[in-house]
Structure 1
Amino acid sequence: MTDIILFHSVLGLRPIERHLAECLRVCGHAVALPDLYQGAATDDLDEGFAIKARIGWGAICLKAREALASTPGDAVLAGISMGAGVVAEFWESRPLAAGVLLLHGLATVPANTRPGLPIQLHVADTDPLFPEPDVTAWQESAEAARADVQVFRYPNAGHYFSDPALSDYNATAAAQLWSRSLAFLT
């Protein structure tokens, strides 16, 4: 069994995150899925950013910190899009994390990253939020930290291609992402 804490995207805690958490639980993992928006959620990116602004990054991180307090220190840190940014806020203070799983977003690699730390990144090939130069620079920083890095780029996919409720959805890419993520977590 792997302990996992999964932080949702800027859209809030939605059915896709709940479904993923349930799938992981069925596979025998313990999953913490904090609601950083306290019930607010949307399918619209602009509205998601408005919710984030209204709540404030400090309050979002406070909720994440509260959730982390009851999570084992070796839990896998996982984040979806904005959730990767939340992972970035706490990664340095969780040096025993068993791994880092980043879906649709980047997280700054801290200087104290443990050599050999398993990290997996999944992003769209032409993601306007995370263009190729940024992904390449991120990969170089993770490799410089001597982490065990896997980067998966998905062609013909939009930013949040794994969510069937969104227009970015790509069934083939989503199936690959979930298969690779599950393998990473076992």
Structure 2
Amino acid sequence: MAIITTTANYRDGETLLEALVAYDDSLTDYRPAVLIHPTWSGRDGFVAKKAIQIAELGYVGIAVDLYGKGVLGSSPEENAALMQPFIDDRLLLKRRLMAAYRNAKIMPWVDGHAMAAIGFCFGGLCALDLARSGIDIKGVVSFHGMLHAPDDIKTQPIKAKVLVLHGNDDPLAPREDVTAFEQEMTAADADWQLHAYGNTGHAFTNPALNDRDSGFYFQANANRRSWLAMQNFLAEVFS
């Protein structure tokens, strides 16, 4: 087995974007694809590693670009400035997400009828918004993602199965947001589940973070358990 990585350019209007694509070149047939939505810093090394790990599971891993080719944040202030326009305008975010989705469907290794999406932090919100858009996608997984529904878009009938992997002490997804999300998914008659990890804050999958005062820190057990939960979920939705 050899995992190959390459890049694929695509556009959202005038914005040039660049996805990173990872796949196992020992497989010769079409295979399911998993869109991987990054944290607020953009399509960086963290999400590239996740694409490779997804490819090792036998899928095509596609690390989505949200900000533009070569655009990355290098500090919390830059990250916030890059992310905030999409938080403020979820229609803009939806358009950007759909550009990545359409690009992925036509990739040569991808079974366009077997696609899923995952995301981390801001990317978790992105994965959930894909489900809320009503597109034909098998499932979405949010890792320590923000949960609040958009105010400017009506949720469409949700076709995707939904898995939320949540730190119980996450300051970016407080209890009221969790309750509202549960009510939203139930009202939409979605096939949804939420796993809450105790004594766990935000960004629990990122070994580079250890700021317990802010609630942003790595939690090894939650990281391991959430990745296993995702694997089981993908096996189910692609079966």
Bin for the TM-score computed over the shorter chain: 0.7 to 0.9
Q: Under a length normalisation based on structure 2, what TM-score does the superposition of the two structures give?
A: 0.67
**Number of aligned pairs?**
182
Structure 2 alignment gaps of length 5 or more: 1-30, 106-111, 211-216
Quick one: distance in 2 between partners of 1:61 and 1:97?
14
- Which residue of 180, 205, 229 corresponds with 1:180? 229
- The 5-angstrom pairing of residues 107-122 of structure 1 reads 108=149, 110-114=155-159, 117-122=160-165
Q: Which has the larger radius of gyration?
A: 2
- The 5-angstrom pairing of residues 92-131 of structure 1 reads 92-105=132-145, 106=147, 108=149, 110-114=155-159, 117-131=160-174
Structure 1 residue 166: Cα displacement: 1.5
Question: Hey, which bits of structure 1, 4+ residues long, moved more than 4 A?
Answer: 58-63
Contact 2:134 2:156 in 1 (8 A): no
Contact 1:34 1:63 in 2 (8 A): no
SS of equivalent to 1:174:
helix
Structure 1 alignment gaps of length 5 or more: none
Quick one: distance in 2 between partners of 1:94 and 1:131?
26
CA RMSD, aligned part only?
2.5
Contact 1:2 1:185 in 2 (8 A): no
Percent identity between the two aligned chains: 24
| Alignment partner, residue 187 of structure 2 | 144
SS of equivalent to 2:141:
strand
Distance 1:185 1:43, change over 3 A: farther
Structure 1 residue 85: Cα displacement: 3.1
Letter of the 2:162 counterpart: I
| Alignment partner, residue 65 of structure 1 | 98
Q: Under a length normalisation based on structure 1, what TM-score does the superposition of the two structures give?
A: 0.83
Contact 2:133 2:158 in 1 (8 A): no
Distance 1:139 1:61, change over 3 A: closer
